[in-house]
């Protein structure tokens, strides 16, 4: 009898201890709600995409040519798209002030000349952008990253004023962790310092959107698989192929969902997480006419009938993120036709097929996702006072009569 009583008292005591620990933890967490946000992910948990080569060489070899992988990198002669040749390396403002792109033994620089006298020179340290539409550049300043005033605009094959910059020389635009979150795999924040711009550790940064952006930090995975080569099932790694629709969409919306207001530190979100746990998600219906073709591809896709009616469509139905498919419109059209065909049973096929034949089936994207101007990527070219936009495919899938007419006129001439 006494032993049963002692057992009951012991069980109650243990239960009370556990309850106290829970309440203490809960109170401690509540007390931290107003604390300064700090980085969650740890640089040391990343392996680096080059560690993927031994097991995934074919995928690695194609992925390094994608716009994702090339969206940021160390500034080098290979990575900088613009020319440093005399006559092709200047940008002249309306005031007559000159920015000159210069190559020196110590590196590449943007130099400001006022009345023919050099006033300031800053190094190209980081390239931002694959160069498909253009490139911007960043320079280090006491562990802070600042955007350089001159951008390269690919369609014009010319240097230009950086998007949103005034028509004058300026070196004072800081690059934030939220910017880097979409143009890098990881960056370790060490500031701000004195309430100034955010500061980063330049030695603990992974440029480009590489394997670990979508598959998660992989050091534990690489270590395990190296020590257990007989185990062919990947351990300690994220497999986006197994995601739910929402997980897949959240992974892409992180960078292709427009301006998101973060509630937790940048780089805290990992593929597979719920995006709304890290950002405020505006669920109000947007006027699609106000959504730019760059930056919020998800917002446009989500307003499309294809997305609404399918119930399963995600970005990965159309995009193979492991390969560079730029300019391969026929491939994307094939993916459209995988649903829009008579065999699929939905009865939704191109009405132009009867008059133009199957050739039209290779032009789905040209008709229903044409290239439109982006005001988010619009630059001032030398001698112009009006921004020149980059053009890119819209993700609002619908009928565009003018675009369709151009395609039909083209095909009729063949």
**By the 8 A CB rule, do 79 and 129 touch?**
no
Give 166's DSSP letter: -
Mean of pLDDT values over 367-374: 95
Q: How confident is the model at residue 354 (pLDDT cuts 50, 70, 90)?
A: low
Q: What are the pLDDT digits (tens) for 179-211?
A: 999 999 999 999 876 678 999 999 999 999 999
Q: What are the pLDDT digits (tens) for 224-241?
A: 999 999 998 999 999 999
Mean pLDDT of the chain: 87
* Residue 412 CB-density burial (10 A; 0-12 exposed, 13-18 middle, 19+ buried): exposed
Determine the Cα–Cα distance for residues 257 and 260; give it in Å rounded to an integer: 7
Alpha helices in 32-102 (DSSP H): 53-63
pLDDT at 114: 97
Position 146 pLDDT exceeds 60: yes
Burial 92-123 (b: 16+ CB within 10 A, else e): ebeeebbbbbeeeeeebbbbbbeeeeeeeebb
**Distant-in-sequence, close-in-space partners of 386: CB < 8 Å, separation ≥ 6:** 380
- Of 89, 69, 87, nearest to 152 (Cα)? 89
- Of 160, 113, 112, nearest to 135 (Cα)? 160
**Distant-in-sequence, close-in-space partners of 80: CB < 8 Å, separation ≥ 6:** 108, 124, 127, 135, 137, 152
- Residue 25 φ/ψ, nearest 5 degrees: -65, -40
Q: Which helix (H) or strand (E) holds 90?
A: strand 90-92
Q: What are the pLDDT digits (tens) for 14-60?
A: 334 333 333 333 333 333 333 233 335 799 999 999 999 999 999 99
Distances, alpha carbon 310 to alpha carbons 245, 302, 349, in Å: 11, 11, 15
- Of 325, 264, 229, nearest to 41 (Cα)? 264
């Amino acid at each position: 009898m006494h032993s049963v009583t002692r057992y009951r008292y012991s069980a109650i005591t243990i239960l009370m201890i556990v309850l106290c620990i829970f309440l203490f933890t809960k109170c401690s967490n509540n007390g931290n709600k107003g604390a300064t946000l700090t980085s969650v992910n740890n640089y040391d948990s990343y392996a680096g995409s080059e560690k993927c080569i031994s097991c995934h060489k074919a995928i690695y070899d194609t992925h390094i040519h994608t716009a994702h992988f090339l969206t940021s990198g160390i500034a080098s002669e290979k990575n900088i798209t613009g020319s440093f040749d005399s006559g092709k390396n200047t940008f002249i403002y309306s005031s007559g002030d000159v920015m000159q792109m210069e190559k020196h033994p110590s590196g590449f620089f943007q130099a400001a000349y006022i009345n023919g006298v050099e006033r300031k020179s800053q190094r190209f340290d980081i390239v931002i952008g694959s160069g498909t539409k253009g490139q911007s550049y960043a320079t280090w300043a006491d562990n802070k990253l600042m955007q350089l005033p001159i951008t390269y605009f690919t369609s014009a094959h010319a240097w230009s004023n950086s998007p949103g910059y005034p028509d004058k020389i300026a070196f004072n635009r800081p690059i934030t962790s939220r910017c880097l979150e979409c143009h890098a795999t990881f960056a370790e924040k060490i500031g701000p310092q004195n309430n100034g711009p955010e500061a980063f550790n330049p030695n603990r940064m992974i440029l480009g959107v590489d394997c670990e952006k979508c598959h998660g930090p992989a050091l534990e995975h690489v270590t395990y698989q190296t020590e257990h080569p007989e185990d062919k099932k990947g351990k300690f790694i994220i497999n986006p192929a197994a995601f739910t629709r929402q997980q897949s969409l959240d992974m892409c919306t992180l960078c292709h969902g427009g301006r998101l207001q973060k509630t937790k530190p940048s780089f805290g979100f990992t593929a597979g997480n719920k995006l709304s746990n890290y950002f405020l998600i505006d669920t109000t219906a947007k006027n699609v006419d106000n959504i730019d073709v760059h930056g919020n591809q998800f917002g446009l896709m989500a307003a499309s009938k294809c997305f609404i009616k399918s119930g399963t469509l995600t970005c990965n139905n159309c995009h193979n993120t492991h390969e560079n498919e730029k300019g391969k419109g026929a491939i994307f059209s094939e993916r459209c036709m995988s649903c829009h065909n008579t065999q699929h049973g939905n009865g939704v096929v191109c009405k132009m097929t009867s008059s133009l034949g199957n050739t039209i089936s290779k032009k789905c994207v040209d008709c229903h996702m044409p290239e439109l101007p982006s005001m988010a990527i619009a630059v001032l070219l030398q001698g112009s006072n009006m921004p020149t936009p980059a053009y890119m495919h819209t993700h609002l899938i619908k009928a565009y009569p003018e675009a369709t007419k151009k395609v039909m006129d083209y095909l009729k001439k063949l």
